[in-house]
């Protein structure tokens, strides 16, 4: 199945000139969602991953499914103020502003081998912030996976410069 055909594109969202790639349509498709998770999981089976980390919010859906398939724990990386316990935080730049991510201080144990998941990599700001949080917590990021890559925005390159291997299932041109 061509998963790319299941992704909805919404022009001018959240601002003019942006082509928003919406994976909710892919996740709503039973066969498409299963294939997406299977394709994310398969190359991970031999990496000795101890936890999967997902970025708020679509990364939770994908990351939870991948963690389940790998029989590992799941780490929630959330936006500021959403986690109820003691947190570490990092502020980062988005394509259109700034934001802050947090992780519970006890979510990652020293030596944990973590695979990071989100729906899309664009400029890489969110993923780089998540990697920083995991590393500050004592974990090792063994890779990052995304359904969609927007290569023109350079995010993949930023993660690879941080020595994080990147796996994506599809690419779209432009923003």
Find all residues with CB under 8 Å of 84, minimum gap 6, and list them: none
The model carries a pTM of 0.95
Given 39, 93, 95, 132, which residue is catalytic? 95
**CA 19 from chain center: how many Å?**
19
Given 58, 78, 102, 156, which residue is catalytic? 58
pLDDT digits (tens, 9 = 90+) for 37-61: 999 999 999 999 999 999 999 999 9
Work out the pLDDT band at 14, boundaries 50, 70, 90: confident
So what's the pLDDT on residue 95?
63
Is 161 an annotated catalytic residue?
A: no
Which two tokens mark 28? Answer: 């709503």
pLDDT at 107 over 70: yes
What is the C-alpha separation between 14 and 118, in angstroms, rounded?
A: 18
User: What length does the chain have?
Assistant: 175
Is 95 an annotated catalytic residue?
A: yes
Domain boundaries, the chain: 32-171
Query: What CATH architecture is 32-171?
Result: 3-Layer(aba) Sandwich (3.40)
């Amino acid at each position: 199945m061509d998963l790319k055909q299941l992704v909805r594109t919404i022009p001018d969202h959240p601002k003019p000139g942006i082509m928003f790639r919406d994976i909710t349509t892919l996740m709503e498709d039973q066969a498409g969602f299963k294939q997406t998770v299977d394709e994310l999981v398969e190359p991970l089976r031999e990496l000795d991953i101890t936890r999967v980390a997902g970025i708020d919010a679509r990364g939770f859906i994908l990351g939870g499914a991948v963690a389940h398939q790998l029989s590992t724990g799941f780490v929630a990386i959330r936006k500021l103020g959403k986690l109820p316990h003691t947190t570490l935080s990092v502020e980062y730049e988005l394509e259109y502003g700034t934001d802050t991510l947090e992780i519970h201080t006890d979510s990652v144990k020293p030596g944990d081998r973590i695979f990071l998941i989100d729906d899309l990599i664009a400029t890489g700001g969110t993923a780089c912030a998540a990697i920083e949080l995991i590393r500050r917590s004592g974990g090792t990021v063994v890779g990052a996976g995304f359904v969609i890559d927007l290569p023109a925005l350079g995010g993949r390159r930023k993660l690879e410069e941080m020595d994080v291997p990147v796996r994506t299932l599809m690419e779209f041109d432009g923003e």
